[in-house]
Structure 1
Amino acid sequence: MAKGRTLRRIRNSLIGIVVVLGLATAWFAWAVRLEDPLDKGETATVPVRTHGADGRWHVGRNWLGRDSAGLYEAYIEGGDLERGLAYGALARELIAEQERIFTDRLRQMIPNVRLGMLKYFTAWYDRDLDEHVPREYLREIYGVSRSMSDAYDGIGPKYMRSLNYHAAHDIGHALQDLAVVGCTSFAAKGGRTDDGHLLVGRNFDFWMGDDFSREKLVTFIRPTEGIPHVLVGWGGFMGAVSGMNLEGLTVTINAARSALPFGARAPISIVTRDILQHAATIDEAVAIAKKHEVFVSESILVASARDGRAVIIEKAPDGMGVFDPGGDLVTCANHYQSERFANSAANQANIRESDSMARFRRMDQLVDSAGTIDPVKAAAILRDRYGMNGAPIGLGNPMAINQMIAHHGVIMRPADRRIWVSAWPYQMGAFVCYDLRDVFARCAMDSISGPIHDPSRTIAADPYLSTAAFAEQQWWQEQRTRIALAGMTGKTIAFTPAEEARFLAAAPDSYITRIALGDLHRMRGGMAEAADHYRAALALPLPSLQERTRLEERLRECDQTTTAP
């Protein structure tokens, strides 16, 4: 009898646990669900694309192709859902490939168990994301998501994945302080440019591996409501990290140090997309930025042909500031400059501890020394790999304007409505020029044949790409990534003495080389060898107090291990 009662209690307890878990799962699924942003009775059928004689894919008047420099180009028009559906159908292979690269990178960095936890954390964290994104962009993103791959449905429903990917930059920035890998930009005018009008240059240093940045997508959008505009990004991404509209207003974003937010807000790239589509002046851009609450701290460099000037809109979860230096040059790195934030404790700590000020000063120096800047000189500035006064600081050093990791470089002339976009690799490939007035005029007449860029204005690729040194440093980059991933995952990798010598010879003046070799030996238990490499790194140009502190901590751990009885 006693045994039977015990078994019944165990059975009832197990049933209770199953019921509780089932209810918890059902509640979680309900809490994180995203309602389809469709009107009652509305459907979202993916259109059929056709391959034209011009080598492009077509859906009605929408199309996608690839130019001779390797840049993908797309044109979409119409209402929000219509645009998204057409874009998804046209770019489905690009979207699938970028999602594969993104998820593969996460799997390399995060063990499966933790990756599963991250999936649920992200779903919970972003559960209210749709409440902070304008409905127009929700519908466009939903349309795109209809063409996403089934292969990743285990991560989440397609619409949820697509929307969350637009917040990936913000979440990663907040959780990992991605501002330490910083973008740098400038806007010059007056006596600083060859024609006196605004000239904008920027590097976008959001790195998820070379494969991620290889296939850039330049998307021209003519919305039913709003201003035609162009975005520079990647497959499936409808936000604006770099772009210009037909009124001659440009936007670029630079991350700043941010506190961990407590819940979803508007992704910064959606805020800037809203600005591009609906603002012709700086005042209009500021008004749009003001109405959005954001995840993280970000600087938005806005230049306006109509106003003939540029400012930086500084957005943060706790407020907003606008910085207007009032002169002929605006420089933007990864710290704040406005009266609202400049003297805050967090910003002052960022200036002291990060590499932002080093790049800021180098950018000012390069602009000052260039004389009157034209697009060719702007490209040279964006490709600069050196420190102050041209001092060598080692490959990949975050103090450099060009860290050889950029997804893209962009140069813009708002008054002329021209934008130059760098082809692979990084900002070192050719800068391809697009005239927005010409592209949109031709697309309006549905008369696209031949290239849409202006070949006469192409800026040649950096000659460095054809050198043996560049080829060797590409190998260096691959090995650096291999070692870093091994450290994250705890896996051992084969690295022969000959490979170690080659790695060191490829970038001997880079502190990154020495840290990587130190990490490699530490993973193998060679603490004395690791300590030697860490000491060598400390003697090389280091980008920040943060990096020096981390390096000194590794060295202490090695020294303590080697001196322990």
Structure 2
Amino acid sequence: MRFLKKLLKLIGYVLAAFLLLIIVFCIYVWKVSDIKPPVVENTSATKLSRTHVEGSLYTIGDNWIRKNKYGLYEMYVSGAPFELGVKNGKLSQELIMSQEEAFTHEIKRMVPSSGYLKFLKYMVGFVNRGLPDHVNEEYKDEIYGESFSAADSFSWIGTNYARLLNYHAAHDVGHALQNMMLVGCTSFGAWDAKTANGAMLLGRNFDFWVGDDFAVNKMVAFYKPEKGYRFAFVTWGGFTGVVSGMNEKGLTVTINAAKSAIPTNAATPVSLVAREILQYASNADEAVKIAHQRKMFVSESFLIGSAQDHKAIVIEKTPDTLAVYDPKQDHILCTNHYQSDLFANEKRNLEQKEKSASVYRYQRLGELMQQNYPLTPEKMAIILRDRKGLHGANIGEGNEKAVNQLIAHHSVIFQPDSLRMWVSTQPWQLGEYVCYDLRKIFALHGLQHDAEIADESQNIAPDPYLQTDTFKQFLTFRANKMALLQKRAVDTAATIQNNPLFYDAYRIAGDYCRERKWFAAAIQYYNGALQHEIATINEREAIQHKIADCQKKLQH
């Protein structure tokens, strides 16, 4: 009896210690999740106010924002970091709010449990606990300046400053923690004999999707920072990192995700490394030097185009190693695997090449480039809009193996020698590509009228695909795909009829039937999916697993 009492007492001590450990851990997670803003000596910029001039044009002195007739927002801001952020925030306040609404709406759709959302909030905060230590002071000041214009209604996520700072690492966290590959992008470039006049041309599709609403309000931002070079980039409200941009020296930066390990602590967000390169590098060597100095917690490729060097390279970076891929020829390709000698046979890279759509898309990109030499901006757009598979095969509309996956947040074409950039308009990269001449825009001294600033004579026409029955059918298919994601009724027959060569149409129909326990019909649809070009090995295996599960349930 005495032994039993001692045993129970010991168990009680162990449980009490375990409970105390959990409490201490929870307090620690809560503490590190609370990111404090930087200390800014001069905050007088917060007293600035914007003025409505006419139409969509708002100004703060020589700084301005407007919406062009193609649906793109255009913004110019200048100043020291905190002032730059304040101006950005005040000019684009509605855009910051709409992006947060779109982003949080998609999060709530994916994670409907409020309790689990709160748990995730602190887990993300825990993973990002060291984030402020890896972000340059000037970018923290800038983001803090922006945060004064963020909405308090999202405080359930965190303070205004903590939210905006963490959003800059959202790509990194999602990509690494779940290998979501939300950024399965394609980029390429050519120069000398491979272009019509020998000038450099670079193009990219930023295939990033977190709900349709997130891509509605795209912005082309023109920055004149206190230090560094003037630059332009494609972005959205509240985001000062760079995913696609060019500076006044004709240096371009675009990012492509690679396969990463699960992070244990924060480092510098990829988009802020790209921002630093764009702001402070004038050539490829300077870009490499900056990338060397920053620790990242995901793996990424940076396609760097340099007018000064008249060539392009890819900086391949993992959390602890960096390699440079120089094709040593007059063209370059980049999808979602590494190409340098250092990383070519690395385990994760080999797995990425084997199981993802990256190699297939890379090969198709090579075909398209070969077919379109010598390249022009118009031919670059043709390549970026291509929806076919290898050898022109019809692999369905929206396949990840295609260069154009019909999910792009934006698409861009750069001509560094002439400082021109073309930015796509809705839908995806199918609308008109709007041309911006950075020399002319940076020569402006404010805007007095709500007038177009684009070099419209150089615009690239919309894709004729928009006028086809195939496109209308794709929209019907996509409506059913969205319905499945939102747990609404799906017309399985229409889903397949409107995209009959796309494996995912059959997968969607199968999932809908499986959820309703129509296992025989689900098996039939899943087998249909296996007869078509499936984007990844993991997706094929997932479909095969669902078939086995349905068969098992039919037997019971």
The TM-score by the shorter chain falls in which range?
over 0.9
State the shift of 1:35 in Å.
2.5
Classify the secondary structure of the residue corresponding to 2:444: helix
User: In the alignment, which residue of structure 2 is the partner of 1:106?
Assistant: 107
Q: 1:229 aligns with which of 228, 231, 235?
A: 231
**Separation in structure 2 between the aligned mates of residue 46 and residue 200 of structure 1, nearest angstrom:** 41
Equivalent residues in 2 for 1:82-231 (5 A)? 82-112=83-113, 113-179=115-181, 182-231=184-233
Structure 1 window deviating more from structure 2 (499-508 vs 71-80): it is 499-508
User: In the alignment, which residue of structure 2 is the partner of 1:347?
Assistant: 349
State the shift of 1:26 in Å.
5.5
Structure 1 window deviating more from structure 2 (377-386 vs 24-33): it is 24-33
Instruction: Answer yes or no: is the 8 Å Cα contact 1:248–1:305 preserved in 2.
Output: yes
State the shift of 1:449 in Å.
5.7
User: In the alignment, which residue of structure 2 is the partner of 1:317?
Assistant: 319
**Separation in structure 2 between the aligned mates of residue 294 and residue 240 of structure 1, nearest angstrom:** 15
State the shift of 1:558 in Å.
1.1
User: In the alignment, which residue of structure 1 is the partner of 2:14?
Assistant: none
User: In the alignment, which residue of structure 2 is the partner of 1:9?
Assistant: none
User: In the alignment, which residue of structure 2 is the partner of 1:505?
Assistant: 497
Equivalent residues in 2 for 1:398-477 (5 A)? 398-443=400-445, 450-477=451-478
Give CA-to-partner distance per residue, 1:21-75, whole Å, 9 cap, x none. Answer: 9877655443333232123575662521110136311112111101111100000
Amino acid at match of 2:533: P
Instruction: Answer yes or no: is the 8 Å Cα contact 1:442–1:448 preserved in 2.
Output: no
Structure 1 window deviating more from structure 2 (547-556 vs 460-469): it is 460-469
Equivalent residues in 2 for 1:333-372 (5 A)? 333-372=335-374
Unaligned runs of 5+ in 1: 1-15, 487-492
Equivalent residues in 2 for 1:284-303 (5 A)? 284-303=286-305
Classify the secondary structure of the residue corresponding to 1:201: strand
Count, aligned residues: 540
State the shift of 1:291 in Å.
0.3
Instruction: Answer yes or no: is the 8 Å Cα contact 1:46–1:147 preserved in 2.
Output: no
Classify the secondary structure of the residue corresponding to 1:465: helix
Structure 1 window deviating more from structure 2 (340-349 vs 239-248): it is 340-349
Instruction: Answer yes or no: is the 8 Å Cα contact 1:382–1:401 preserved in 2.
Output: yes
User: In the alignment, which residue of structure 2 is the partner of 1:51?
Assistant: 52
1:532 aligns with 2:524: yes
**Separation in structure 2 between the aligned mates of residue 285 and residue 448 of structure 1, nearest angstrom:** 37
Amino acid at match of 2:521: E
**Separation in structure 2 between the aligned mates of residue 332 and residue 478 of structure 1, nearest angstrom:** 31
Q: 1:181 to 1:26 in 2, by over 3 A?
A: closer
Give CA-to-partner distance per residue, 1:419-460, whole Å, 9 cap, x none. Answer: 0000111111100000011100114x6667621110100101
User: In the alignment, which residue of structure 2 is the partner of 1:489?
Assistant: none
Give CA-to-partner distance per residue, 1:395-415, whole Å, 9 cap, x none. Answer: 111100001000000000000
1:387 aligns with 2:392: no
Amino acid at match of 1:90: L
Give CA-to-partner distance per residue, 1:456-510, whole Å, 9 cap, x none. Answer: 0010111111234323322321321221343xxxxxx333xxx322222110111
Aligned-residue sequence identity (percent) comes to 42
Classify the secondary structure of the residue corresponding to 1:519: helix
Equivalent residues in 2 for 1:257-296 (5 A)? 257-296=259-298
1:332 aligns with 2:324: no
**Separation in structure 1 between the aligned mates of residue 328 and residue 18 of structure 2, nearest angstrom:** 65
Amino acid at match of 1:552: Q
Unaligned runs of 5+ in 2: 1-16
State the shift of 1:197 in Å.
1.6
Amino acid at match of 1:101: A
Q: 1:21 to 1:527 in 2, by over 3 A?
A: closer
**Separation in structure 2 between the aligned mates of residue 203 and residue 21 of structure 1, nearest angstrom:** 45
State the shift of 1:344 in Å.
0.5
Instruction: Answer yes or no: is the 8 Å Cα contact 1:261–1:317 preserved in 2.
Output: no
Give CA-to-partner distance per residue, 1:121-143, whole Å, 9 cap, x none. Answer: 11111121011011111111111
**Separation in structure 1 between the aligned mates of residue 355 and residue 176 of structure 2, nearest angstrom:** 17
Classify the secondary structure of the residue corresponding to 1:442: coil
State the shift of 1:547 in Å.
1.7
**Separation in structure 1 between the aligned mates of residue 158 and residue 123 of structure 2, nearest angstrom:** 12
1:523 aligns with 2:518: no
Q: 1:139 to 1:453 in 2, by over 3 A?
A: same
User: In the alignment, which residue of structure 2 is the partner of 1:239?
Assistant: 241
Instruction: Answer yes or no: is the 8 Å Cα contact 2:182–2:208 preserved in 1.
Output: no
User: In the alignment, which residue of structure 2 is the partner of 1:494?
Assistant: 489
Classify the secondary structure of the residue corresponding to 1:424: coil
Instruction: Answer yes or no: is the 8 Å Cα contact 1:54–1:450 preserved in 2.
Output: no
Instruction: Answer yes or no: is the 8 Å Cα contact 2:127–2:263 preserved in 1.
Output: no
Q: 1:555 aligns with which of 522, 537, 547?
A: 547
What is the RMSD computed on CA atoms of the aligned residues?
2.0
**Separation in structure 1 between the aligned mates of residue 26 and residue 300 of structure 2, nearest angstrom:** 36
TM-score (norm 2): 0.94
Instruction: Answer yes or no: is the 8 Å Cα contact 2:250–2:307 preserved in 1.
Output: yes
**Separation in structure 1 between the aligned mates of residue 470 and residue 42 of structure 2, nearest angstrom:** 60
Classify the secondary structure of the residue corresponding to 1:396: coil
Classify the secondary structure of the residue corresponding to 1:34: coil
Give CA-to-partner distance per residue, 1:238-282, whole Å, 9 cap, x none. Answer: 010000000000000000011101110000000000000000010
Q: 1:263 to 1:44 in 2, by over 3 A?
A: farther
Q: 1:482 to 1:176 in 2, by over 3 A?
A: farther
**Separation in structure 1 between the aligned mates of residue 543 and residue 386 of structure 2, nearest angstrom:** 26
User: In the alignment, which residue of structure 1 is the partner of 2:253?
Assistant: 251
**Separation in structure 2 between the aligned mates of residue 554 and residue 501 of structure 1, nearest angstrom:** 20
Amino acid at match of 1:63: W
Classify the secondary structure of the residue corresponding to 1:232: strand
Amino acid at match of 2:285: D
Classify the secondary structure of the residue corresponding to 1:362: helix
**Separation in structure 2 between the aligned mates of residue 236 and residue 483 of structure 1, nearest angstrom:** 30
**Separation in structure 1 between the aligned mates of residue 118 and residue 47 of structure 2, nearest angstrom:** 30
Structure 1 window deviating more from structure 2 (540-549 vs 510-519): it is 540-549
Give CA-to-partner distance per residue, 1:157-197, whole Å, 9 cap, x none. Answer: 00000000010011110122133761111011111101112
Structure 1 window deviating more from structure 2 (55-64 vs 273-282): it is 55-64
Q: 1:517 to 1:446 in 2, by over 3 A?
A: closer
Instruction: Answer yes or no: is the 8 Å Cα contact 1:341–1:347 preserved in 2.
Output: yes
**Separation in structure 2 between the aligned mates of residue 46 and residue 244 of structure 1, nearest angstrom:** 31
User: In the alignment, which residue of structure 1 is the partner of 2:3?
Assistant: none
**Separation in structure 1 between the aligned mates of residue 202 and residue 492 of structure 2, nearest angstrom:** 41
User: In the alignment, which residue of structure 2 is the partner of 1:542?
Assistant: 534
Equivalent residues in 2 for 1:371-382 (5 A)? 371-382=373-384
Q: 1:453 to 1:40 in 2, by over 3 A?
A: closer
Instruction: Answer yes or no: is the 8 Å Cα contact 2:177–2:263 preserved in 1.
Output: no
